[in-house]
Structure 1
Amino acid sequence: MTVTLTAQEEDDLWDEAAQHNPPQLDPNSSIEIYKMPQELGKGHNLFVELYPDCWLMIWNREYRETVQTKQPEWQHPLQFGVLLSGMVPDSQGGVLGNGCTMISGSGVQREISGVCFNTQSYLGINLEMSAEWLTTFFPDENGQLPAELSFLVKGNDWQTLIYPKTNPAIQGVAWQMIHCPYEGAAKRLYLQAKSLELMALQLAPIVADRGNPKPSPRMKPTTIARIYEARDILQRRLENPPSSLELATAVGLSDRTLQRGFQSLFGTTVVGYLAEQRLLQAEQLLRERSMTVTEVAHRVGYGHLGRFAAAFKRKFGITPSQCLLGKKVILGA
């Protein structure tokens, strides 16, 4: 079963839980720990203000039910995210976890939803800050924001949302932050230093090669809107999807523009996006235990059961039958 909440409804649950269980506070390090609402599951969020307008959140959660959270269009701050376990796919085709980190630039975020699964344990961190904060710690020789980082600061334009690949160095720093060996004021100082190291590690490959990934595709707003329309068509027709050419025609684009748009906006091809969404929906259907493996395979568009099982195991580390029986997925960080 999947529970769907608006972002405001989820925030209200956390606020209500904090009223019944006031957060634990360490006055020496300014760290607050909020218990997860029982309606959602068990675990906690740890918050610490590292610098003015810069917050670290460490989250350690297990969900009672699979939860889809819908966020309306809003003015998003700058955010860096790393998961050591679990994954969060979003409605724009990105996935935090499963081998990817997240950099969410400041600017206007489109309406988006993300899913947290009750079959996974979530352990990770988020760094959130104002756009001005980035210039303070990463200035160029003139004290301004380096040109290669300007894609992260969009003001009233659409934000940049990318999912760079993780690596052992990033995972190691995230692990050190979660398992900080110090207490009190020393803990806060340690987390301050590690947060800068983590951001540098995530930004390094982007600074080294500004063209990969391409964070700000130069497309007309109408073209971007048509590509999102094509994505929505695919999500509605997983069982019987149109061909790439048919999809392009349906939204009034050339096949080449559609393919390039998917690569720019979602980091994958039309076929790759379709395959990813099919498997994510299959995993969710199997967890609900209302259908057989064969029925799920056909529901998401797989005519050959063996191919479905092989693709599912490559993605989640377990077979569809094991998923149906409740075994947790085995994912890379």
Structure 2
Amino acid sequence: MTLILNKSDWDKMWQQTVTPELQKFGSDAFEEVLEMPQVAGQGYSGHIELSPGVSLGFADCEYHQDLTIEIPAHDHLIQINILLSGFLDCEGVHPRLDETRSYFSGSGVSPAVTEKHQSGGRLSFVNVEIAPQVLESFLDDRQRQLDNIKQLFKGEDWKVAFYPKVTAKMRSLAQELWHPPYHGAAKRLYLQAKVFELLALYVDLIADSQEPIRNLPRLKPDTIARIHHAKEILTAQIEHPPSLSALAQLVGVSDRTLQRGFQILFQTTVVGYLTQLRLDKAEKLLRQGDRKVAEVANLVGYGHLGHFSAAFKQRFGITPSQCLAGNKAVFGK
């Protein structure tokens, strides 16, 4: 079975795990290290704030079952990600990332994306995030006018991304970030120096690059407002929602634009969003304990009890009957 989680739930699961002893990972007091939630697999991730606007992340995880993480649209810093093992699929928004292809993204707004991880797969990586003003402080007027450099600073527009081939130097720097030879203040200084060396490598690489930039999907402000209106209509009419075509007509967009808008803004389809609404309402009704499972299924628009039970278990990790009995959700809440 595939675990399907939104980003908020996934982050909460990490925060609820027992923090390991730092000595176990050779970590220092200024590092945040968390063990992977056991429901998904084993491993750990870490995060270090090196200086204002500069952070380093790292992870080494092995997945015990298929995992899908739905990440909504969000503000995005400048980011470098290099995989040391495994691969990462992001369902059409990005090409597959692996040990041969890295990720270098500018700042701006990131569209919604779905990450997919396979059971038995191991993923290890280093991740660097830098506030745009930090990089901008190093650029002179000429550099700021270079086309590819300007693409790193998109403000409230959709961000752009590059996918450079991983060179021996990139991999070497990633490994040095993973295994620094120092501890304490010396370690922090060393890591920051290596982060800026890595950033310099990428900035120099793209400054004169002729490779096409990966432009992310755009929606006009008016279209965004219409998509949000469609979401409000579904929320208000959860028991008897309009059809896809009727909903599109109500908000004044085409069926295709409506579907595309939901994918970009909410990382799901129209039907997927409606299903989520129904299941969340069902979970609340079952927690009240005064209705039978079949009655709740009918109240949220499910005519087939088996379909309702299967969808409920996929979202929450327990059956409707277990929820009615007071069992806590494994995930999804």
Q: Same fold (TM over 0.5)?
A: yes
Deviation at 1:213, TM superposition (A): 3.0
Secondary structure in structure 2 of the residue aligned to 1:88: coil
Structure having the higher Rg: 2
Deviation at 1:153, TM superposition (A): 1.3
* Deviation readout 1:291-332 (Å, 9 max, x if unpaired): xxxxxxxxxxxxxxxxxxxxxxxxxxxxxxxxxxxxxxxxxx
Corresponding residue of 1:7: 7
* Alignment of structure 1 residues 135-146 onto 2, 5 Å: 135-136=136-137, 138-140=138-140
Partner amino acid, structure 1, of 2:45: N
- C-alpha distance in 2 between matches for 1:146 and 1:169: 24
Corresponding residue of 1:106: 107
Secondary structure in structure 2 of the residue aligned to 1:125: strand
Corresponding residue of 2:231: none
After superposition, the Cα gap between the structure-2 partners of 1:178 and 1:145, relative to the gap in structure 1 and judged at 3 Å, is farther
After superposition, the Cα gap between the structure-2 partners of 1:175 and 1:111, relative to the gap in structure 1 and judged at 3 Å, is same
TM-align CA RMSD:
2.9
- C-alpha distance in 2 between matches for 1:143 and 1:213: 19
After superposition, the Cα gap between the structure-2 partners of 1:23 and 1:142, relative to the gap in structure 1 and judged at 3 Å, is farther
- C-alpha distance in 2 between matches for 1:27 and 1:60: 14
Deviation at 1:75, TM superposition (A): 1.4
Unaligned runs of 5+ in 2: 224-255, 258-333
Corresponding residue of 2:177: 177
After superposition, the Cα gap between the structure-2 partners of 1:52 and 1:220, relative to the gap in structure 1 and judged at 3 Å, is closer
Question: Between the two proteins, what is the percent identity of the paired residues?
Answer: 30
* Alignment of structure 1 residues 132-281 onto 2, 5 Å: 132-136=133-137, 138-140=138-140, 148-209=148-209, 211-216=210-215
After superposition, the Cα gap between the structure-2 partners of 1:186 and 1:54, relative to the gap in structure 1 and judged at 3 Å, is same
8 Å CA contact retained: 1:89, 1:115: yes
* Alignment of structure 1 residues 252-331 onto 2, 5 Å: none
Partner amino acid, structure 2, of 1:116: H
Secondary structure in structure 1 of the residue aligned to 2:176: helix
Partner amino acid, structure 1, of 2:181: P
Give me the TM-score of the superposition, normalised by structure 2: 0.59
Does 1:57 find its partner at 2:57?
Answer: yes
- C-alpha distance in 2 between matches for 1:126 and 1:135: 20
After superposition, the Cα gap between the structure-2 partners of 1:216 and 1:140, relative to the gap in structure 1 and judged at 3 Å, is farther
Deviation at 1:181, TM superposition (A): 1.3
After superposition, the Cα gap between the structure-2 partners of 1:30 and 1:144, relative to the gap in structure 1 and judged at 3 Å, is farther
Does 1:128 find its partner at 2:132?
Answer: no
8 Å CA contact retained: 2:78, 2:107: yes
- C-alpha distance in 1 between matches for 2:144 and 2:151: 14
Deviation at 1:110, TM superposition (A): 1.1
Deviation at 1:215, TM superposition (A): 4.3
After superposition, the Cα gap between the structure-2 partners of 1:104 and 1:6, relative to the gap in structure 1 and judged at 3 Å, is same
* Alignment of structure 1 residues 31-70 onto 2, 5 Å: 31-70=31-70
* Deviation readout 1:155-200 (Å, 9 max, x if unpaired): 1111113322111110011011111111111111111111111122
Give me the TM-score of the superposition, normalised by structure 1: 0.59
Aligned length: 221
8 Å CA contact retained: 1:6, 1:70: yes
Deviates more, 1:198-207 or 1:145-154: 145-154
Unaligned runs of 5+ in 1: 226-250, 253-333
